[in-house]
Amino acid sequence: MENEICRIERMMASALDGDQMKMLHGVLIACLCGVGQEPGASRTPEEHLAAFLAAKELEGCSLRSTRYYASTLGRFISQIDKPVSEIVTDDIRAYLAEYALRNGAGKVTIDNIRRVISSFFSWLESEDYIYKSPAKRVKKIRSMRVVKPVYSDEALESLRDACDERRDLAMVDLLTSTGMRVGELVRLDRMDIGFEARECIVKGKGDKERKVYFDARAKIHLLAYLEERDDFNPALFVSLNRPHRRLEISGVESRLRKLGQRARVKQVHPHKFRRTLATKAIDKGMPIEQVQVLLGHSKIDTTLCYAMVDQDNVKQSHRKFFS
């Protein structure tokens, strides 16, 4: 019966406006299901959330992203405290406004929450638990585009000089030359590295594999690091102390922060290496489509957000073409 109701609503959607669709929905529920019963009404919001998270995991969503979805949506459904079929656009807008006021959150943070909520309701709609997502009318929250800093050549050399462990030097060089994500870095095994061709295959978001390339310096330091290892852990990067466990994302982030403090380089974190590679690649003339493949982005707009063209080169090009 639920499927039939959803089928009728889809067939009538193009002919009716929002209010008319609500009226049709109520009539169908009253006549076919009985008053108070709706498609998916037997499930609680928490059960809908659990099903959504399971679907995301099946699609290959990373554990980190799944946890973010869970915490963000968990707070949302707890505060709204309504069945998902009764949540309306104004509920979402009011929640976002209150969240921003209560937590002092910026526009970027609030828009990230909006996107997660929108993804949840789009899934509910596609699974026929609701007939129309109330998040569709909540527009993207515009914010100032901040040009995020990248590492200068001097900063990278300072970081290398600050490394007193061969593992750290190899890690910095691999991040610098490949631009891989930190999650991809920690999943690498020794056998994944092709030293002769100076390339390796990494698993990105959704377990999509792609080939990345490293330079001669990274090759030399990786070989030196592996030669001094006396453990049998297949992981490429492991902890310095026994029993030499595979290095985790938090371990990489913590180590890089310490290197930054030692080198007196501000804002040192793994993602900055990725942004630096993208910026330098575009700045040196690499086609944006190739940079997209190198970084493993499904949409070229994402690549453009990562890559900030050097302003000095823009100035030189302006003089070349217009002076």
CA distance 220 to 268: 23
DSSP annotation string for 242-269? TT-PBPPHHHHHHHHHHHHHHHT-SS--
CA angle 299, 304, 310 (to 5 degrees): 160
DSSP annotation string for 90-141? HHHHHHHHHHHHHHT--HHHHHHHHHHHHHHHHHHHHTTSSSS-TTTTS---
**Which residue pairs from 38-42 have beta carbons closer than 8 angstroms and sit at least 24 positions apart in sequence?**
38/83, 38/85, 39/2, 39/5, 39/6, 39/85, 39/128, 39/129, 39/130, 39/131, 40/2, 40/84, 40/85, 40/124, 40/128, 40/129, 40/130, 41/83, 41/85
Q: Which of 96, 38, 49 is nearest to 77 (CA)?
A: 49
Bridge partners (DSSP) of residue 210 are 202
Whole-Å CA distances, 291 to 43, 238, 270, 287, 294: 45, 29, 18, 7, 5
Q: Supply the DSSP symbol for 209.
A: E
User: Annotated catalytic sites, by residue?
Assistant: 181, 205, 271, 274, 297, 306
51 near 15, Cβ under 8 Å? no
